[in-house]
Structure 1
């Protein structure tokens, strides 16, 4: 069995002490109680699970805001007005374009100019900012967050949380929390072509190959499969979902190390037999002209155009891509039918490769000296982790953006649209009201997370959600110390660039697969073995210190 290390580009995922929900979880000699007792202005005295948070005096907090071009920030959104009405908190967003968000976030944190609240941060992106002391060790303060603690305990998220811990035993990100993992990207297939060819939907990658062969035989002039998501790296999505099905995710899901439980050591992902196996599979698709080689370089618009003009029949995507991109692209061809099929099964078995942790919140270390610090932590707890806060962020205000049906189920108001659910409605939940805005509406119970899903997407989630969690989602802890992290970061960039380059060459047939061993030796010249020694050292140290 292989377990993937959840390392981002900056560092290996941290891990340390067994989860302890409370201030004692910090694991060092610092005492955060001073900040808590000294900075309670505006805080509720008895704030507990299920309470509506409302500051005892009006307070304001600065926040970094990831500004999405599809629903750009408006200061007069109902979201802001209603949030202040309910919580007595005024947020002061610093808007940064989606395309520049990660870079701008790094610059602001490094310069000491970051706002107090820093959302839209994915697990392990925080690693790069830990050693500078610029962000808060949030695990010191979770006693201030009863809804967060309740969900971690009730949903048994301790093992996932532990993957965030740094070498000091603390963690520095409040992640978004899902009760159940949900996986969204797969293959989108022209089912009318399947019907024409007398084929069933493929359930495995071997059956995908058989399907593509049949499409090619019937339509020899086209590549049946062309893909998108190749900017800035080649086929970030395809390498991710296919690699996960083989037990070694690439693309968006790439991490440098996976854990070989049988051998009791870490191994380098892109040198593993699992990686080689899916590379061979893609090489077969390309060599037999089943997969468009331009998939690895073309823009999204070029890939969509080929699907729209029946120059291809298969592409990767998610539910929003299906509804907002592919079906409208094919609207002039009423015979064309598209479906996102359940993620095909590969050698890794029927697994769900998605984590239960979502993007979350970093907090500037300056916050602990703010007189409203406790109130801020309570506010974050309510908005991001309470059932009421999560429903508010997603659905908005009853009677304005949603209504409750006879069964009590939430429904969009008749004049409000989102994700094409009411395409003729004059108002839009995101654009006009600011709800479901991609900053606050992450995580929660499945019924909330899937509340905007179409019936076909709910059917997809029922199938994939019934699969067992992939074993690499929660790896054994192996936290780097600061010196190790600095060295590892230098090696990672060179290794990742070479892995992407040579993997693509193998797939396209520009390099013979018979040179795989030579490729592995080339990785060694780029410090792969030293990198893995560092990884194993961190793992062994944790195991010795914490069992």
Structure 2
């Protein structure tokens, strides 16, 4: 979804967080989880008849500690209507530890390592939770799914078991409760000046070959300009992270924002290293061609977002990476002074692997629970509350849109949903004086994610809903099998992966910009081998085989 909290941006400090978290002291006798499954003494405040569709309300006032990420786009406010209305509905309030977005990963690690982490720890991106397991600091939440009927219902109804299996660790359990989506979805693509395409007689591109042809026609008409100048070059990555990500996916590998070190080769029935795949070479070759033909601005891989936007606004470029919010809230405003200028997202271009969506997008960031919570007399009530707020239809609607007939009217189910006249969010109600997130606390990424396709689409203007409907016609790619590592394996491979990834990023940029010839690709792969690529793959594939043997 980006957005200021894209998965890969938050993962950027996961490695450092892991180093601190790996040496955590265990909870043991000072409040660690019980081995017994007997919950008879942990039901204070819980509902006896909680189930799917049940509105949760604790039988007595409860307060749970929670980590709250304060997003600079809507900084935390203690007087948000979200807090008071949540308490009114559920009899639950929070004791928040508020952490700025820029410090969240590091602060989370420090709190856990110091043994003073809040009970509920949201905004965690898989596989970040793996770094905290060996110490016993976080709860194996898969042991307690019977307390979460809404989550179980959606997993079964939406056929998400295979996705959840990818979160399992070497013990067969998972430790992160992720956001659940009904269907795969993909918001990021490229935006193009549609008035220029119409002027030049260029049809909307459907494939990456079409994108190449489009850029060449624009270059012929505007030889003194780069047809495309891209953004989102913030680390991690060699730059142009969305462009690399969607192009790599279209070729059948991971790159840019979508980077993962290993890729499942279904034909060989083993994991291979993403940065050494022929498909990765094809991705790099395509971008090298665009740069060599002066179709893609080489500054796309280093420039700041505002510089890329300025070039697009001034007509110095005509194509740029985009999501729904960037299109409406940035690009259309940027080009408003250009007579006749129009811009729209193009359908996610199709590459050699065909029109496939990433099934992995059906899970989103989620929350960890401190293992000490298991001993609380309110444990069952807390799990019911989490299940209601994060996984029930009612809780998800509340977290996203607020209070019916106050912040919104209608229903997402029948298409009558509409924000109140004085409330805006992401340009859905331009000119409204109040922001749903900044002024009320709803649409907060700590709570509002996942849900049905109808709920997801309710946050988009009609144009984006039509875009999503078009992509929903595509099939989801098969999921890779689980390959959970032991704590020792995770510690060792993290060191290898860091050095390998740095080299991949450096050489990727050199290949794209023509600073290194692609005739040296084999030498580059040998360099990866010298940096423990084969040893990494050996550990990963043995982990896959072990999991298959022990857990099927």
TM bin (shorter chain) = over 0.9
CA distance in 2, matches of 1:426, 1:303: 29
From 274, 288, 295, the equivalent of 1:290 is 295
Aligned to 1:369: 375
User: What SS does the corresponding residue of 1:118 show, helix, strand or coil?
Assistant: strand
Matched residue, 2:116: 113
CA contact (8 A) 1:32 1:140 kept: no
2:397 alignment partner, one of 385, 388, 391:
391
Matched, 1:327 2:332: yes
Equivalent position of 1:450 in the other structure: 457
Secondary structure at 2:40 match in 1:
helix
Is the partner of 1:510 in helix, strand or coil?
coil
What is the match of residue 141 of structure 2? 138
Inter-partner Cα distance in structure 2 for 1:541 and 1:257: 17
Alpha-carbon distance between aligned partners in 1 of 2:366 and 2:196, rounded to the nearest angstrom: 41
Q: CA deviation at 1:30?
A: 7.3
Superposed, which structure 2 residues align to 1:105-184 within 5 Å?
Answer: 105-184=108-187
After superposition, residues 408-427 of structure 1 pair within 5 angstroms as 409-427=416-434
1:429 aligns with 2:436: yes
Q: 1:273 aligns with which of 278, 290, 301?
A: 278
Asked if residue 339 in structure 1 is aligned to residue 333 in structure 2, the reply is no
Aligned equivalent of 1:212: 215
The reply to whether residue 231 of structure 1 matches residue 234 of structure 2 is yes
Q: 1:139 to 1:312 in 2, by over 3 A?
A: same
Q: Distance in 2 between matches of 1:100 and 1:315?
A: 29
Query: d(CA) in 2 for partners of 1:418 and 1:248?
Result: 35
Partner of 1:316: 321
Question: d(CA) in 1 for partners of 2:102 and 2:203?
Answer: 40
User: Do the aligned residues in 2 keep the contact of 1:32 with 1:141 (CA within 8 Å)?
Assistant: no
1:27-106 aligned within 5 A = 31-34=35-38, 36-106=39-109
Q: Structure 1 residues 30 and 85, CA, compared in 2 at 3 Å: closer, same or farther?
A: closer
RMSD: 1.7
Counterparts of 2:106 and 2:220, CA distance in 1:
47
Asked if 1:543 is matched to 2:532, the reply is no
Whole-angstrom distance in 2 between the partners of 1:516 and 1:535:
24
Q: Which position in structure 1 is the counterpart of 2:500?
A: 495
Structure 2 length normalisation: TM-score? 0.92
Cα shift at 1:33: 1.8
SS at match of 1:90: strand
Counterpart Cα distance in 1 of 2:115 and 2:196: 56
Q: CA–CA distance in 2 between the matches of 1:533 and 1:405?
A: 52
| 1:405 CA drift (Å) | 7.3
Task: Give yes or no for contact 2:245–2:254 (8 Å, CA) kept in 1.
Answer: yes
Aligned residue among 481, 486, 490 for 1:481: 486
Deviation at 1:32, TM superposition (A): 4.3
Residues 64 and 117, structure 1, Cα contact 8 Å, conserved in 2: yes
Q: Which sits farther off after the overlay, 75-84 or 419-428? A: 419-428
Aligned partner of 2:406 among 400, 403, 427: 400
